[in-house]
Structures are given as C-alpha cells and as structure tokens.
Homo-oligomer: A and B are copies of this chain.
Amino acid sequence: MKENKSKYAILGILSLGPISGYDIKKVFQRSVANFWSESYGQIYPLLRTLVAEGLATKSIEKQVGKPDRHTYVLTNKGFEELQQWLIEPVQDQIGRIEIALKLFFGHRVKVADNIRQVEHFREMRGQELQALIAIEERLKVEHANKPNLPYMLMTVSYGQHVTQALIQWCEETLSFLSKMTAKPKKGIKGLTKKNVRGDKRRSRQSQ
C-alpha cells in the first residue's frame, strides 16, 4: 500500500530544522546509522519532489569560496504528512538474514565451518553491543534534557536488545554445534564431498 519510506525519513530529518541535502546525509550517518541510511542518489531527487509536492520549500544561500547551499524547510503540509506516517502502524517485511540462510544449508559444509561462522558472527555482535552502549552514554551527555532524547534512547535500546539476543543465540548454537562434532550420528559421520552430494537422490521430498 504505502511506499517510499525514504521520503518519510527525509521529512523526519527536515522536521528537525532547515537543512541541506549534503547535511541530511551527515545527519543520517550521525544519528540513525544503526537502523537507517540514505544515499545522495535518493536524497537529492527526493528533495526536488518534496518541493514539487509542497511538502518543503527551498532557498539558496550564497557562500564565499564554497558552492551554494540549498536549504530546505518543511511546510505545514509536509509536517502533517510526516505525522500521518508516524501514527500509521508499521508493516513488517521479512528481512533477508544471511547467517540464517548459510546455517540452513550448514549440512553442506563441515560442522567446524559452521562453528567458525557463528563465532565470527558473535564477535561482530559483541563489538556492535559495545558500540551501542557507547552511543547510549554519548547521547545521554550530548543531548541531555533535549525533548527527543527519550526517543533516541528507545531506538538505541532496540538495537541493544536485539544484539544481546543474538549473542545469546550464538552461545546456544555454538554449544549445540560442538555437541554435533563430539558425537556425529548417521548422515553426519564420515562427511565427505561424495557422501554429501549423494543426499541429492533422496531429497526432493525433504522439503
């Protein structure tokens, strides 16, 4: 039904104050980078259409030595459209999860390969969690008593909860996988390239 999330993402940034396309990219990188991003190829054409639709106005600042700054300001209509989107319930879409896909076909490689994969994933999550904790601390200091601080913290908390859960999942999956290496049973024992390919013959109905 409703399309173009990028449009609303930009409307949201514009609601924070007058800003240029160049700076919009920076704001994305510095604030919502954990769960959202936009490229210039999206931003600049979209700003044009926002103006065409009467959701924003544009004014040009002359600068010495530097290129002109094209500054955009949200209109009332634009602000209302943003609000309308904000209260609309999110439609959940199935994201593509690469590690899950790889693990789904995990029996095509050695158990040790899967262990390595999950270990690497866990390390990345560990780093991510540390980063999210650092962001939380930074926000509390830099945005102290700003009205949107609570909302910023909620989004950081979202990331922390998910990342923490993934680390937990890694631990459980790793202990499960190491049990598989310890006592491999029929179909896993003596895993060779030839044996693995041999699965193909009896697999059409394994879906």
Contacts and interface: CB of A to CB of B under 8 A. Distances in A.
A67 interface: no
Given A18-B200, A113-B86, A168-B161, A33 B94 contact: yes
A15 interface: yes
Q: How many copies does the complex hold?
A: 2
A122 B202 CA distance: 41
A31 B158 CA distance: 28
A57 to B, nearest CB: 12
B154 A165 contact: no
A104 B155 contact: yes
A159 B83 CA distance: 31
A41 interface: no
A108 B31 CA distance: 16
- The main secondary structure of chain A at its interface with chain B is helix
Contact of A94 (B37, B76, B150): B37
A34 B103 CA distance: 13
Contacts of A173: 154, 157
A84 to B, nearest CB: 9
A98 interface: yes
Interface residues of A, number: 94
A86 to B, nearest CB: 5
A27 interface: yes
A147 B97 contact: no
Contact of A207 (B27, B114, B188): B27
A120 to B, nearest CB: 5
Contacts of A103: 151, 154-155, 158
Ranked 9 nearest A-B pairs via Cβ:
A165-B165, A17-B203, A147-B187, A35-B97, A106-B151, A161-B169, A12-B105, A35-B100, A100-B155
Given A90-B98, A90-B99, 14 more contacts: A12-B108, A16-B199, A18-B204, A35-B100, A37-B96, A74-B200, A82-B108, A83-B109, A100-B159, A105-B151, A106-B148, A106-B154, A107-B151, A148-B206
